[in-house]
A and B are shown apart, each in its own frame.
Chain A
Amino acid sequence: DTEVTQTPKHLVMGMTNKKSLKCEQHMGHRAMYWYKQKAKKPPELMFVYSYEKLSINESVPSRFSPECPNSSLLNLHLHALQPEDSALYLCASKLAPNTGELFFGEGSRLTVL
Chain B
Amino acid sequence: GQQVMQIPQYQHVQEGEDFTTYCNSSTTLSNIQWYKQRPGGHPVFLIQLVKSGEVKKQKRLTFQFGEAKKNSSLHITATQTTDVGTYFCAGLHGSSNTGKLIFGQGTTLQVKP
B-binding residues in A (CB < 8 A): 31, 40-43, 45, 48, 50, 55-56, 90, 94, 96-99, 101-107
Contacts and interface: CB of A to CB of B under 8 A. Distances in A.
B106 A42 contact: yes
Given A31-B99, A45-B101, A102-B43, 18 more contacts: A40-B106, A41-B105, A43-B43, A43-B88, A48-B100, A50-B99, A56-B98, A90-B43, A96-B99, A97-B98, A98-B99, A101-B33, A101-B48, A102-B35, A102-B101, A104-B42, A104-B43, A106-B41
Contacts of B104: 42
Contacts of A102: 33, 35, 43, 45, 90, 101
Q: Of residues A98, A99, A101, A105, which shows the largest number of chain B Cβ atoms within 10 Å of its Cβ? A: A101
Nearest to A40: B108
Interface in B8-47: 33, 35, 41-45
Contact of A48 (B90, B92, B98): B98
A99 B50 CA distance: 12
A96 B99 CA distance: 9
Interface residues of B, number: 20
Contacts, number: 48
Nearest to B41: A106
B41 A101 contact: no
Contact of B45 (A45, A96, A103, A105): A103
Contacts of B90: 102
Contacts of A97: 98-99
A31 B98 CA distance: 11
Nearest to A55: B98
Contacts of B98: 48, 55-56, 97
A30 to B, nearest CB: 11
A101 B35 CA distance: 10
